[in-house]
Amino acid sequence: MGFVFQQFVEAPALYACQSCRAHISRREDVMSRTFQGKLGRAYLTKTVFNERLGEEEDRQLMTGLHTVCDLYCRPCNTLIGWKYIRAYDKSQQYKEGCYVLEKSMIFAIEHPDRSQKTLLPVPPPTLDNALARFMSDVGIQTSSRSSMPWS
């Protein structure tokens, strides 16, 4: 089957797959948070990432007949919603090309505002520092390096 490549999205806030944490959509692209999905509350959005679409089919939904296809998370193949291909009712045509994300199948990721912070590289911990931190976490007192049993 080969490798499944994921697209990582830089945005202030994202929605990700509940199963594999792949980025699915930007919060700023959500058009409505009051949709009803198969599993409960859902979001209507105009863009998605890391998606795979199923076969097109006509479905009778709450707002009428639509041509839709199921929307899967590409990395883990979890069903996360559907895409509107065609709306037969003229008042529903604004949905065409948009996606419905089941709220129970995604979760929100909040990213810090990186424009106001300077990110400094953090050196990797040394073995002595990592061991001392572990010993401190489990309650073993170490006052100096000389008290370590291997010193």
**Digit-coded pLDDT (tens) for 12-54:** 899 999 999 999 999 999 999 999 999 999 999 999 999 999 9
pLDDT higher than threshold 80 for residue 114: no
Helices (H), 82-138: 127-137
Q: Is the pTM of this model over 0.85?
A: no
50-73 pLDDT, tens digit each? 999 999 999 999 999 999 999 999
| Residue 145 tokens, joined | 């390096």
pLDDT band at 131 (very low <50, low <70, confident <90, very high): low
CA distances in angstroms from 69 to 62, 78, 123, 131, 135, listed in the order given? 16, 14, 48, 53, 54
**What is the rounded CA–CA span in Å between residue 46 and residue 128?**
51
